[in-house]
């Protein structure tokens, strides 16, 4: 007798076609199926005691989920917000100084994505108090846990020579690019664990691999981010929380690279022969958000740069 396996919480009824049988295996075929099921660590149903089995199904829809995108007033963050809104995600968006840009973005999103809940939060990512307040505001306004964290807000003053990098600059860069992501993860992780769904995506940099046009302070902050991502991914996978990073380089229409004139001679060094677009980073972010099977990965999006 075939017994459907019923979920306790989010998991769905397991389809009969996948071969979950009772433990009454008489024929050779059902014995083979039993071995396969054991191999795949699927739980057995004893039809007599009707134990519930937890068989996880892929759940990659982000429509109706809540995404927190930091640095949404910037080039890449705004592109991520647009992309996630187009997939139906509600948004909590942060800015620090560019109020005009976040207002323009939200005006645009309210037009193009009617029905979504969009909140705006002014946060200095160097301030623990600001981050704590932001989570309270999100709770008050959305009354829902954050499902998707895109930790994108970042800072990098271009100082190439280590001798010229003041200690204060090193510490500030690590606070904004690395410590803030740690605090953001702490703010979202318990809610994600409780609901057994979460997507954490850091916006790192090719600097994490030793490349880029900035100094070691920026590289250290982004390298730390990648290491934190790898550690978190292995610790959180059991809760169906994926953790990945996107590592861009040379993305124009951003505060970092407003246009080609801001970085003369650089476009010639990019193998593909052009700058990247913020929307191309947003595509990669959306891929991680909608591909829960992928975790612990750092994806370079850099036109062939290494």
Ligand X SMILES: NC(=O)c1ccc[n+]([C@@H]2O[C@H](COP(=O)([O-])OP(=O)(O)OC[C@H]3O[C@@H](n4cnc5c(N)ncnc54)[C@H](OP(=O)(O)O)[C@@H]3O)[C@@H](O)[C@H]2O)c1
Q: Using CB under 6 A, which of 3, 34, 75, 245 touches ligand X?
A: 75
Tracing tokens 């981010």 back to the chain, one arrives at: 225
Q: Closest approach of Cβ 149 to ligand X, in Å?
A: 14
E-state strands within 15-129 = 66-69, 90-95, 118-122
* Interaction of residue 77 with ligand X, rule CB under 6 A: yes
Residue 152 binding ligand X, by CB under 6 A: yes
Is 239 annotated in the active site? Answer: no
Q: Which two tokens stand for residue 125?
A: 């990512």
Binding pattern for the stretch 172-211 against ligand X, x by CB under 6 A and - elsewhere = ----x--------------------------x-x------
Binding mask 113-132 for ligand X (x = CB under 6 A): ----------xxxx------
Between 74 and 215, CB nearer to ligand X: 74
Contact yes or no for 228/186 (Cβ under 8 A) = no
Q: How is residue 210 written in tokens?
A: 């030793």
CB of 10 to ligand X, least distance (A): 32
Would the CA dihedral through 192, 154, 183, 236 be positive or negative? positive
SS3 14: strand
Cα 177 → chain centroid: 15
- Least separation, in Å, of the C-beta of 170 and ligand X? 15
| Region binding ligand X by CB under 6 A among candidate stretches 28-36, 110-118, 254-262, 292-300 | 254-262
Instruction: Count other Cβ atoms within 10 Å, centred on residue 152.
Output: 28
Choosing from 11, 218, 239, 293, the catalytic residue is: 218
Report the residue from 146, 251, 300, 305 that binds ligand X according to the rule CB under 6 A: 251
The token pair at 135 is 């989570």
How far is it, in rounded angstroms, from Cα 33 to Cα 41? Answer: 12
Q: Which of 142, 50, 58 is nearest to 93 (CA)?
A: 142
Joined together, the tokens standing for residue 42 give 């699927």
Residue 98 interacting with ligand X (CB under 6 A): yes
Q: Which residues are catalytic?
A: 218
Footprint on this chain of ligand X (rule: CB under 6 A): 71, 73-77, 95-98, 123-126, 152-156, 176, 203, 205, 248-251, 254-257
């Amino acid at each position: 007798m075939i017994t459907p396996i019923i979920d306790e919480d989010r998991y769905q009824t397991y389809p009969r076609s996948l071969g979950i049988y009772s433990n009454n295996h008489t024929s050779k075929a059902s014995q083979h199926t039993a071995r396969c099921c054991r191999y795949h660590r699927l739980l057995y149903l004893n039809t007599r005691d009707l134990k519930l089995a937890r068989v996880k199904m892929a759940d990659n829809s982000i429509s109706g989920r809540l995404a927190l995108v930091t640095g949404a007033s910037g080039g890449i963050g705004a592109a991520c917000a647009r992309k996630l809104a187009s997939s139906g995600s509600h948004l909590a968006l942060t800015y620090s100084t560019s109020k005009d840009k976040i207002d323009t973005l939200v005006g645009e999103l309210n037009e193009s994505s009617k029905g979504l809940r969009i909140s705006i939060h002014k946060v200095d990512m160097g301030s623990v108090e600001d981050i704590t307040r932001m989570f309270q505001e999100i709770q008050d306004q959305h009354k829902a846990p954050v499902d998707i964290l895109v930790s994108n807000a970042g800072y990098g003053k271009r100082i190439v020579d280590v001798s010229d990098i003041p200690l204060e600059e090193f510490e500030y860069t690590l606070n904004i690019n690395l410590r803030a992501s740690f605090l953001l993860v702490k703010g979202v992780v318990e809610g994600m664990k409780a609901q057994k769904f979460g997507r954490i995506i850091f916006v790192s940099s090719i600097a994490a691999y030793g490349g880029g046009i900035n100094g070691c302070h920026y590289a250290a902050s982004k390298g730390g981010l990648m290491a934190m991502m790898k550690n978190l991914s292995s610790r959180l996978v059991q809760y169906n929380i994926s953790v990945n990073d996107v590592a861009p380089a040379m993305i124009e229409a951003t505060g970092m690279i407003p246009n080609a004139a801001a970085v003369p001679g650089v476009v010639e060094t990019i193998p593909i022969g052009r700058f990247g677009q913020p929307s191309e980073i947003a595509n990669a972010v959306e891929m991680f958000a909608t591909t829960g099977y992928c975790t612990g990965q750092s994806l370079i999006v850099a036109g062939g740069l290494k």
